[in-house]
Structure 1
Amino acid sequence: MGCRVRTAKTDLLRLVAVEGVIVPDHAGRLPGRGAHLHPDLGCLELAERRRAFPRAFRLAGPLDTSVLRDGLAAATPRQQDGETESDV
């Protein structure tokens, strides 16, 4: 959604809009229309700048990305240290 780079679905993070808040769906089981994004703050910022979330979820108005942003910000330092989420 953000950077528009094609990649394997397993490398992307599934997102779902729940009551106007965009939340990550790690298990891929939350109901509703999903969208996929690279688990990277830069990709999130591009998607926000392009206003891609309302189009992807087919919802009107702005959506809250604070939960998603906090989760990506917390995961980013671990990935830079050479660890991945599966290592933790």
Structure 2
Amino acid sequence: MIGELLRVVAVDRRLVVDERRRLPGRGAWLHPGPGCLAKAERRRAFPRALKAQGALDAAGLQDHPALTTETGTGTYPEPTGIKEAGRPVMSQP
């Protein structure tokens, strides 16, 4: 799951995607796709997550290829390789 998330950091008051996950500073994690980016901007989540004072410029994120295409029907990637759970072993009275 962490491999499917994008790390976003603030560099000089601008939000950038940390492709290699090596940039210094506090990072925020974002699902690929425009829906999650729009929701994070609407909720003003980046300044809170990055503990930054004031607004941050997110224009660079809107041009990123992973954030411009939808990854399925929703904003979350489709799960792969997940099997259904079996019956409970024992229940408490």
Same fold (TM over 0.5): yes
Query: Which segments of 5 or more consecutive residues in structure 1 lack a partner in the other structure?
Result: 1-7, 81-88
Q: Could you list the runs of 4 or more consecutive aligned residues of structure 1 that deviate by over 2 angstroms after TM superposition?
A: none
| Cα displacement string for residues 34-79 of structure 1 (whole angstroms, at most 9, x for unaligned residues) | 1100011110000011110000000011111110111122xx28x6
The separation in 2 between residues aligned to 1:23 and 1:29, in whole angstroms, is 12
Q: What RMSD over aligned residues (CA atoms) do the two structures have, in Å?
A: 1.5
Q: Is residue 37 from structure 1 mapped to residue 27 from structure 2 by the alignment?
A: no
- SS of 2:7's partner is strand
Aligned position for 2:57: 64
Answer with 1 or 2: which has the greater Rg. Answer: 2
Q: Which has the higher helix share?
A: 1
Aligned length: 70
Q: Is residue 20 from structure 1 mapped to residue 16 from structure 2 by the alignment?
A: no
The separation in 2 between residues aligned to 1:56 and 1:67, in whole angstroms, is 18
Structure 2 length-normalised TM: 0.70
Structure 1 length-normalised TM: 0.74
- Identity over aligned residues, as a percent? 54
